[in-house]
A and B are shown apart, each in its own frame.
Chain A
Amino acid sequence: GQNIDQPTEMTATEGAIVQINCTYQTSGFNGLFWYQQHAGEAPTFLSYNVLDGLEEKGRFSSFLSRSKGYSYLLLKELQMKDSASYLCAVRDSNYQLIWGAGTKLIIKP
């Protein structure tokens, strides 16, 4: 079966760095996405990786290793507004999106 694993919850301190991991087992691979979702709101797109390596976008970076079925989202200089759920999603060989359960990130002052 297809499976995406990410931690349920993480806590970090304002101004610090946090890494949210995602491992996946899917039927084929056509890209990995990270989305941010604040409570009660719809998800918003953060990043997309299809090739191995690191993609940097401001305070957020996303890494992919296809051979390991692994990705992480790195958030630097954490701000209180970064408190949200972070969803990892993989597009399989049928171009279907498989969603992880999300990681709730709690930022403390």
Chain B
Amino acid sequence: GAVVSQHPSRVICKSGTSVKIECRSLDFQATTMFWYRQFPKQSLMLMATSNEGSKATYEQGVEKDKFLINHASLTLSTLTVTSAHPEDSSFYICSASHLGRGDTGELFFGEGSRLTVL
């Protein structure tokens, strides 16, 4: 199956700093990538849909000025958590779908990035 790589897998930062998380599709071109956040023992929560070359579409309640998403190429999307606070500590996961003839549109997930804000 398709491979999506996410980096870093773990990051610890001080309150008030910014953190950038990268998501790469390694063997296919992903015109659309998705960013999720998952708190302990909860399901995935879609934060935004990232479209190559255009502005991301944010879900209701997600601050777009706080969670900056850039999708500059067909293989790379980045999520920047600006001025992070302890309540932003969570597991952030990116995913992409490979839509082509015969594909189901299944999502391929990156490994996830665990952010801890001190």
Contact = CB atoms under 8 A, between A and B. Distances in A.
Interface of A: 31, 33, 35, 40-45, 48, 50, 87, 91, 95-97, 99-102
15 contacts: A35-B107, A40-B91, A41-B111, A42-B93, A42-B109, A42-B110, A43-B44, A43-B93, A48-B104, A50-B104, A95-B105, A97-B34, A99-B43, A99-B44, A100-B43
Interface of B: 1, 6, 34, 42-44, 46, 91, 93, 95, 104-112, 114
Contacts of B104: 31, 33, 48, 50
B43 A102 contact: yes
Contacts of B46: 96-97, 99
Contacts of B106: 33, 45, 48
